[in-house]
Structure 1
Amino acid sequence: MSKFLPVFFLVIFASCSRTVTRVEPTTAIDLSGRWNDTDSRMVADKMIYDLFDSQTFKDYARQLGRKPVIVMGPIRNKTSEHIDADNYVKKFEMVIHNSAIAEIVESGDFRDKLRTERTEQQDFASSATAKQFGKEIGADLMLFGEMTSETDTNNRKRVVNYITTLFLTDIETSKRIWYGQDEIKKLVKN
């Protein structure tokens, strides 16, 4: 019996070992059927370019006479799943920033950190390099929205429909410039 004990443990250890394979970040991998990074990327790309292609956005930009400046507001997660809303917002910011169609300015905590740094520079940096107040670029528009989901289950099947709704609103007038919605539906069989 003692002679087979090491072989037994080797077989048990080998069957419990884990393998890890590196893949391209853009590779779609859906293990659980829940919302994932691929879904975030697909929705952000599609919705921002739907926004930029909309006639109301083009008319707004033409009337403004320059690239509109957008600030990201919150995208609230109203699904039953944990979805990192900050990461999702960053995907939208990245698409806007890389688009060359609109400008984006910092929002929320980042803007507050910049203002704190600017305040501290007034006391601790040389006057030649201290950044001045009153030079921020004001946003023209705020993009915000919400995510919801609808789930239907039967036996060992589940259908989840994720709906992202975005609103682009003129900050000065509160007029809604654009309203967009995108859906991703997943069928999960257990």
Structure 2
Amino acid sequence: MIRKHMLFLCIFAAWALMFTGCAGTTVQRLDTTEEVALTDRWNATDSRLVSEEMINDMLSFPWISRWQSSNPRNPQPTVLVMGIRNRSHEHIAVDTFVNDLRRAMIRSGKVDFVAGGDTRDAIREERLDQEFQATPETAAALAQETGANFALSGSIDSFVDQLDGRRVTSYQIDLTLIDMTTNREVWTGQKRIQKFQQRSRLRL
């Protein structure tokens, strides 16, 4: 009886090993607008939805109508993204979030956007190089940049609460728009996301 039981276990183990070895990896293309959440971590869908919602809220505040009334010849104010600080517990691709913010602003058609940071420095270096290397007819002129009227900055924070295999992760995104001339905060926005993750228990 014991031998039959051991033989059965050996056959089962060999079958399981063979099945595992034959199993392959499959790759499936997905719609980029469809959310596939494997964990409770910040993902591309969060970045896109938060940026769109917060920019729409920003553009609904009175600051833009006041600007348009005071500047009828230049109804589209220029915005510069100063930077977004990641103060969460995990690594977040902040550059992707900044790009989503830029895309939402440009798509709105209500504001113009100017480059900042490393991109601006690289353009200025190229413009200076053209001053000496390019022909006068094709060289980009110096001191002709469009100055930013408003600066957007913010931060991403997170809070984690967990107990007995259950975890709730909260993300808080704060953005502030500042008038570059007066240093006044003309808009502040806040968005919160909560995600619940529970580990399944293996029962034998």
Q: Which residue type is aligned with residue 111 of structure 1?
A: R
1:189 equivalenced with 2:198 (yes/no): yes
The offset of 1:86, in angstroms, is 1.1
Runs in 1 of length 4+ with deviation above 2 angstroms?
7-15, 55-65
User: 1:106-135, CA deviations, whole angstroms, 9 ceiling, x for partnerless residues?
Assistant: 001111111111111111111110010111
1:136 equivalenced with 2:136 (yes/no): no
Distance 2:20 2:34 in 1: 32
RMSD over equivalenced CA pairs, Å: 1.6
Aligned residue for 2:59, secondary structure, equals: helix
What residue is the counterpart of 1:4 in the other structure?
A: none
Aligned residue for 2:21, secondary structure, equals: helix
Distance 1:49 1:177 in 2: 15
Aligned residue for 1:53, secondary structure, equals: coil
Distance 2:102 2:161 in 1: 32
Q: TM-score, normalised by structure 1?
A: 0.91
Distance 1:62 1:31 in 2: 48
2:37 aligned to which of 24, 30, 36: 30
Which residues of 2 match residues 30-179 of structure 1 at below 5 A?
30-65=37-72, 66-179=75-188
User: 1:121-180, CA deviations, whole angstroms, 9 ceiling, x for partnerless residues?
Assistant: 111111110010111000000000001111111111111111100000011211001000
2:20 aligned to which of 12, 26, 43: 12
Structure 1 gap segments, 5+ residues each: 1-6
Equivalences, count: 184
* Max Rg structure: 2
- % identical aligned pairs: 31
Distance 2:147 2:192 in 1: 32
The offset of 1:8, in angstroms, is 7.9
Distance 1:109 1:40 in 2: 22
Q: TM-score, normalised by structure 2?
A: 0.85
8 Å CA contact 1:144–1:168 kept in 2: the answer is yes
Structure 2 gap segments, 5+ residues each: 1-14, 200-204
What residue is the counterpart of 2:4 in the other structure?
A: none
Distance 1:81 1:98 in 2: 30
